[in-house]
Amino acid sequence: VIKCKAAVAWEAGKPLSIEEVEVAPPKAHEVRIKIVATAVCHTDAYTLSGADPEGCFPVILGHEGAGIVESVGEGVTKVKKGDTVIPLYIPQCGECKFCKNPKTNLCQKIRITQGKGVMPDGTSRFTCKGKQIYHFMGTSTFSEYTVVADISVAKIDAAAPLDKVCLLGCGISTGYGAAVNTAKVEPGSTCAVFGLGGVGLAVIMGCRIAGASRIIGIDINKDKYAKAKEFGATECISPQDSKKPIQEVLVEMTDGGVDYSFECIGNVGVMRAALEACHKGWGVSVIVGVAAAGQEISTRPFQLVTGRTWKGTAFGGWKSVNSVPKLVTEYMSKKIKVDEFVTHTLPFDKINEAFELMHSGK
């Protein structure tokens, strides 16, 4: 058993608490990882807020991390002690019907236990002050050591800087893949990206790499426009600058609507606007943002009857174990940006400050 520091969420709506936790050794088909770097994501904040119906407490959150394999349980063959890895919140077992289908990346092998906050055998590897602590998204990267299923880990280039590539565990991969895998943006096309946070910037990057000729960034926070343009946005607009609904503004700006739109916020009203900003006959709108539990989307069916397509994406459609090492290679060869997404680097015990920076849009 390893004793180490972790940021424990004891209950919903309270700040994380830095505690000494005990991390049990990995059982069969499990991997124990020394986490070197982790990022914060709105998904962590959503569960911490108490709004997530799957949220269990007390829990160690975090799902964008990178580290080194400390030990492996019996039967583990894909990674060994000392390997550099990224934990995966969407695993890839290679055996379930989802993994065998090229149309999806949503491996279901450990979905039920992962959603309950436990390892595939139904138990936790974390304890603190004599209490069992739940796992989160199969990763729990807000701990100096974590245990994950062997199908939830990608071995990456040992030369990669872990404080950067940890972002490929969720946000950057999600946005980039939404553009290149889910939407399949084509050269010369016009795109609109709603929400210019990390995921939105990654979508813009994907659209640019795919050859889009016009990329319109949409956000009410104008402080984000300069960064969006760095990533490839050709112009940025705020919905608050017009009395008309934003979809009407976009339809007018683009002679009938955009070829591709992306919702990167998790707001069902914006999801509707993103669909309705698409061009009649061929426009495709991709939902990337995660809406709160129980919310529903709506539009007039005529929007779809007249040739628009509404799609969703999880982790950018990447088959995780196979794709994450390739994404790291693309970063190392400078095909995709990663460093530019990092605005702040804080010591682990300042993790609550990191959440405050995220909530304030900084």
Superfamily of domain 172-314: NAD(P)-binding Rossmann-like Domain (3.40.50.720)
Contact by Cβ (8 Å): 151, 91: yes
Determine if the peptide bond prior to 91 is cis (ω within 30°).
no
pLDDT of residue 210: 98
How far apart (Å, rounded) are the C-alpha atoms in residues 126 and 2?
10
How far apart (Å, rounded) are the C-alpha atoms in residues 246 and 192?
11
Contact by Cβ (8 Å): 64, 171: yes
pLDDT of residue 52: 87
Q: Domain coordinates of the chain in residue numbers? A: 2-169+319-352, 172-314
362 residues of the chain, pLDDT tens digit each: 999 999 999 999 999 999 999 999 999 999 999 999 999 999 999 999 998 888 999 999 999 999 999 999 999 999 999 999 999 999 999 999 999 999 999 999 999 999 999 999 999 999 999 999 999 999 999 999 999 999 999 999 999 999 999 999 999 999 999 999 999 999 999 999 999 999 999 999 999 999 999 999 999 999 999 999 999 999 999 999 999 999 999 999 999 999 999 999 999 999 999 999 999 999 999 999 999 889 999 999 999 999 999 999 999 999 999 999 999 999 999 999 999 999 999 999 999 999 999 999 88
Q: Can you state the angle between helices 351-359 and 42-49, rounded to 10 degrees?
A: 100
Q: What is the pTM of this model?
A: 0.96
Half-sphere exposure of 190 (CA within 13 A, CB side): 16
pLDDT of residue 71: 98
Please give the CATH architecture assigned to the domain spanning 2-169+319-352. Answer: Alpha-Beta Complex (3.90)
pLDDT of residue 163: 97
Starting at the earlier edge strand, list the strands of the sheet with 260-263. Answer: 235-237, 214-218, 190-194, 260-263, 284-287, 309-312
Sequence-distant (6+) residues with CB within 8 A of 346 are 353, 354
pLDDT of residue 53: 85
